[in-house]
A and B are shown apart, each in its own frame.
Chain A
Amino acid sequence: GAVVSQHPSWVICKSGTSVKIECRSLDFQATTMFWYRQFPKQSLMLMATSNEGSKATYEQGVEKDKFLINHASLTLSTLTVTSAHPEDSSFYICSAVRGHNSPLHFGNGTRLTVT
């Protein structure tokens, strides 16, 4: 089956630093990738939609200058949390689709802790 690899699986960083999270589709070309965040005991919240070669589309309330998304190829999207603060601590997860009418394939998520 289709595999999406997300790295790192967990990261601890200090306030003010930046953290990059990678999402790779290992065996298919993903036309679109999605980034979500999930707080404890809550469901996923879509942060942004990322299409290869174009700017990401951010959901309302998500700061695009804080959460930088780059989708440089059909198999890789990155999310960079810039100038991280403790309130950015969360579980971040990506998903990828081959195209329309395709099921989503999720990464295993990244648990970010900002101290």
Chain B
Amino acid sequence: KNEVEQSPQNLTAQEGEFITINCSYSVGISALHWLQQHPGGGIVSLFMLSSGKKKHGRLIATINIQEKHSSLHITASHPRDSAVYICAVDGSGNTGKLIFGQGTTLQVKP
């Protein structure tokens, strides 16, 4: 069993829909990261969080440390949100050494 599990693996949505991607982990962590990988391969860091909730534009990330679970929500989804979303955890004391989930491929159709 992987230390970081994401669900779903693949997700197709219609433009405008509310999207949720889940991440569960089994190790102790100091921080959890949500990353976005575009089709060309480039990766953008969306969130780094260790508790509670963060919001940036249409994106919201939450984490429950006790339950070892995090969610990434996208409100009013748009085709440009189509990408692979990766959950990664830092169990090394915030040094940046991450353990990655397998990623969720999101396609938003117009």
Contacts and interface: CB of A to CB of B under 8 A. Distances in A.
Interface of A: 32, 34, 38, 42-46, 49, 91, 93, 95, 97, 100-109, 111
A103 B45 contact: yes
A54 to B, nearest CB: 14
Q: List the 9 shortest-distance A-B pairs measured between CB atoms, nearest first.
A: A106-B43, A97-B96, A109-B41, A108-B42, A43-B100, A103-B48, A101-B94, A43-B102, A103-B45
Interface of B: 31, 33, 35, 40-45, 48, 86, 88, 93-98, 100-103
Contacts of A106: 35, 42-45
A53 to B, nearest CB: 16
Nearest to B84: A43
Contacts of B48: 103-104
Question: Chain A binding site: helix, strand, loop or mixed by DSSP?
Answer: strand
Contact of B97 (A43, A46, A91, A108): A46
Given A43-B86, A103-B45, A111-B41, 10 more contacts: A34-B97, A91-B41, A93-B41, A101-B94, A102-B96, A104-B48, A106-B44, A109-B41, A109-B42, A109-B43
A108 B96 contact: no
Nearest to B90: A104
Nearest to B47: A103
A93 B40 CA distance: 12
B42 A95 contact: no
Nearest to B43: A106
Contact of A49 (B41, B86, B97): B97
